[in-house]
Amino acid sequence: MVDDKTVDVLQKKKVRLNNTAILFLILVVMFALFSYVGRPFFFSKLNLIPMINNLSFVGIIAAILTMVMVSGEIDFSIGGNIGLTACLTALLLEKGLPGWLVVIIALAGGFAMGAFNGMLVTVVGVNSIIATIGTMFIWRGIGYTITNGESKLALNTVIDYIGRGFVFKVIPFPIVLLVAVFIITYIIMNHSKWGRRIYAIGANPLASFLSGINVKKVKFIGFLFCGAAAALGGLVLTSLSAVGMPQHGQGQELVIISAIILGGTALGGGRGQILGTLAGVFILSVLYNFLTIMNIYYFYIQMVQGSVLILVVSTYEIRQAVARRRT
Amino acid sequence: MSDSNGIVLRMENITKTFPGVVALDNVSIDLYKGEVLGILGENGAGKSTLIKILAGNYIKDSGDIFIDGQKFEIKGPAEAMSSGIRVIYQELNTINNLTVAENIFIGEQLVKGPLKIIDWKGMNKKAEELLAVMNVKLDPNAIIGDLTVSEKQIVEIAKAISQEAKILVMDEPTAALSEEETQSLFKIIQALKTKGVAIIYISHRLKEIFEITDRVTVLRDGKKVGTLKTKESDSNKLVEMMVGRDIKDMYPKRHVPIGGVVMEVNNLGAEGFDNISFKLRKGEILGIFGLLGSGRSSLVKALFGANKIKNGEIIVNGKKLRIKSPGMARDAKIGLVPLDRKIEGLALMMGVKENITLANIKELGKSFLIARNQERRKAGNWVDEIGIRTPSVEQEVNSLSGGNQQKVVLAKWLESGSQIIILNEPTRGVDVGAKIEIYKLMQDLCEKGSSIIMISSELPEILSIADRIIVMSKGRFTEEYKICDASEEGLLRSACL
């Protein structure tokens, strides 16, 4: 009884593309405008490469966190995770461990932090907002403790490469990481069985459970990889700044979550697009970069960032309300 | 205030379209002062849309609304309220942690003094008066959460009439009420009628339509089929108008040969029930009957691995199974069509195909990727095979009618190859036409060798469709009936043991 199937498919595609497409359009316009207004510095290698490097560490985490958020959970502990990872990295380097081993340990630490969050949420049953706000403080507290609150130099050829290396001498390594993470998460979310489970759980956890999906396992693995992604981000940040300090990543959880929400992911789960998150990350970072190089006072920048988030999300709400009115 | 004809409300040529569907096509109704107008129609006939337009939740595409003879544009709920329209929805809107009085006066609490402090005493007193008018005894200070569903319904009605209702709309008000409670609701309706309130009564229960309404308007597929005086109509006529054809057999039953035992449950106990034993045979439809709180839904959840089993055993095809999760039940080829499909059965914001393949995602292709064409084909096959009416397999299930949603849930289990299908109230919230289709479908499945456990509280349904019925009461087994020995009285008696 399937009739005019093609028409409907087209219509649905159109609707789904809209929000993300609009975001990319905004991004292009912003970029063009900023390149003109901020000429010649904005559109120069000297500005763009550090900007994209910085954006990469946000984007890597945002991509994975999008998966967690689509499944209906959230992770606030990423900022603390970044700080702890940075401290751990610097300390281990200080102890004289080889760079590659430090990277492995740091990532393992990230997995461990993610596993802890996942356990709290899926086994103990703590609400993920509460659980991860708690662990956010704990991770950062541990960072302060092990470094005594001091920043430590983190210089090592391997670590340096993660944030400041170039692949084929031209492509900054963080960008390679970013692209890789986005391709992988895009395939998972849009084309894999795993991604289907994530969307289904976000759309209706009880129905998913009663359809035989192991809801807890899917959520746990989301947290697990979110921890690892945050640790990877922490490594990039440590490398970019060449120091490990417990303040690293402070407040970043909100920036990252803002970017994801800006990209169209629903807080309650079930809806969200990896490409939307990518656009969200770019919009917030490009805006921040532009305002900074235009010498706008930092306090004002914060206000602008907040306003953009509210503006975009309000637009979503209005569009949805209009759509609902029509149906 | 009403004009000389006594017409309080006239909706004229109302049309409302949604993308791809004409929900209402030139529908007109009149409503007289002090009458009860029944609106009858299957799911998807347009009843709810009509009411939502009246309540200001939807904006009509075209048509006119006259209140007391004057043209009136309803632009939102506030305008509808201000013109004396009150709607009691099927889903209760009471707030559980507030008291009865607070709920009744929500949004317009009585206040006193210059500081506008809430006048608790006055509010409680007025609530009491209101409840007395309705002839019910209910403590205004009681917390809503402690009340029964029917008491909550009464609070909703009190809320509606506390604010000078001129037109009162009740959308399936008895869905959650017992027979006795329904009768007291009818008394309230009679009382309101004599006070001149015009009432629109929406129901798909014919018995109630005959009992309480003066006239009845039948809708089908968004069109008005006609309006009859209730006294001059009969149920055959109304059903025919609703369905658009003559229904000879509401409960088609075929003879399906019954084979050997496929499932054996011995002394099973879990939360909500204990010591339940039964056997299910190949090709059989086993009915489970019980009243609210009998443990029937708990039993189903335990069989399906959603609730933890405390004692006893489940043997499927001769093998003792320890079903600890719905995933394990699925792998044992057991499927569950749950009680509340919107909450337990479907991912409403996802498409038909995603829902059909939901329980069997791992079979969607050989690799870790989803083979989209394969998925579309699988879903399309089920759509054709069991007659799911949808514009496409991509359609969000949210926009399908109740019967088609139920078929999607069933298709999900067929897709995962279930041999034992448990249906909890399979035709709840499903229109007559789809009901018959579901009965036929169940028997098709049995013919192909599946077995079905059907929980139902609809007596005519269970008595006609099941091959054997076991009755539960207070979490215990009370009686087993062969279908030839079963009767309404017998089942009810056993259910109250």
Whole-number pLDDT of residue A5? 40
List CB contacts (< 8 A) between A216 and chain B: none
| pLDDT at residue B104, as a whole number | 84
Chain B stretch 327-346, residues whose beta carbon is closer than 8 A to a beta carbon of chain A: 327-331, 336, 338, 343-346
- Considering only CB atoms, which chain B residues are within 8 Å of A327? 18-19, 399
Is A8 in Cβ contact with B391 (below 8 Å)?
yes
| Pairwise CA distance, residues B42 & A239, whole Å | 66
How far is the alpha carbon of B344 from chain A, nearest alpha carbon, in Å?
4
**How close does chain A come to B467, measured CA to CA in Å?**
27
Q: Vertex B421, ends B420 and B427: CA angle to 5°?
A: 160
Residue corresponding to tokens 């506008």 = B116
Contact A274, A185 (CB under 8 A): yes
Closest CA to A184 of A316, A54, A60, A11: A60
Sign for the pseudo-dihedral over CA of B133, B134, B135, B141: negative
**CA dihedral sign, ordered B472, B474, B477, B479:** negative
CA atoms within 13 A on the CB side of B229: 2
Shortest Cα distance from B327 to chain A (angstroms)? Answer: 4
Strands B70-71 and B62-67: antiparallel
Q: Which has the minimum average pLDDT: A58-62, A195-199, A247-251?
A: A247-251
Contact between A4 and B392 using a beta-carbon 8 Å cutoff? yes
Is the pLDDT assigned to residue A6 strictly greater than 90?
Answer: no
In a domain, A261, yes or no: yes
pLDDT for position B176: 64
Q: Sign (positive/negative) of CA torsion A81, A83, A84, A86?
A: positive
Mutant choice from A11, A194, A210, A215 vs B, greatest count of B C-beta within 10 A: A210
Whether residue A17 is contained in a domain is answered as: no
The answer to the question of residue A157 being in a domain is yes
- Which of A7-11, A80-84, A261-265, B160-164 shows the highest mean pLDDT? A80-84
**Residue A215 falls within a domain, yes or no?**
yes
For B62-122, where are the E strands, in sequence order? Answer: 62-67, 70-71, 85-88, 111-112, 117-118
Residue A3 belongs to some domain of the structure: no
Tokens of A58: 């946000």
pLDDT at A109: 96
Rg of chain B (C-alpha set): 25
| A182 lies in some domain | yes
Closest CB to B344 among A11, A203, A206: A206
Determine phi and psi for A211, rounding to 5 degrees.
-105, 15
Domains and CATH numbers, chain B: 7-243 (3.40.50.300), 261-495 (3.40.50.300)
Residues of B in contact with A205 (CB under 8 A): none
**Whole-number pLDDT of residue A58:** 93
Q: In chain A, which residues have their Cβ closer than 8 Å to the Cβ of B19? A: 11, 326-327
| B97: three-class secondary structure by DSSP | coil
Contact B346 A5 (CB under 8 A): no
- Give the tens place of pLDDT for each residue, A110-159: 999 999 999 999 999 999 999 999 999 999 999 999 998 888 888 888 88
- Smallest Cα distance from A187 to chain B, Å: 8
Instruction: Provide the domain count of chain A.
Output: 1
Query: Do strands B476-482 and B285-289 pair parallel, antiparallel, or not at all (unpaired)?
Result: unpaired
Under a CB-based contact definition with an 8 Å cutoff, are residues A5 and B379 in contact?
A: no
Residue B229: per-residue pLDDT: 92
Q: Residue B270: which H helix or E strand, with range?
A: strand B261-270
Tell me what pLDDT residue A15 has.
47
Query: Is it the case that residue A11 has pLDDT exceeding 50?
Result: no
Whether A36 maps to a domain, the answer reads: no
Could you tell me the residue range of the domain that residue A157 belongs to? 44-295
Higher pLDDT, A233 or A318: A233
The per-residue pLDDT for B245 is 67
Residue B102 pLDDT: 85
Give the CATH number of the domain where residue A221 resides.
1.10.3470
Element of type H or E holding A91: helix A78-94
Please check whether residue A311 lies inside any domain of the structure: no
Across A283-301, average pLDDT: 89
Average pLDDT of adjacent 10-residue blocks, chain B of 497 residues = 68 83 86 92 80 88 89 85 83 80 80 81 85 78 80 81 83 72 82 88 83 91 89 84 73 87 94 92 93 84 92 92 93 92 91 94 91 92 90 89 89 93 87 85 92 88 92 90 87 81
**DSSP secondary structure, B160-182, as one string:** HHHT--SEEEEESTTTT--HHHH
Buried b / exposed e over B366-384, threshold 16 CB at 10 Å, is: eeebbbeeebbebbbebbe
- Rounded Cα distance, B401 and B432, in Å: 12
**Å between B24 CA and nearest CA of chain A:** 12
pLDDT at residue A310 tops 80:
yes
Give the pLDDT confidence score for residue B5 in this predicted structure.
65
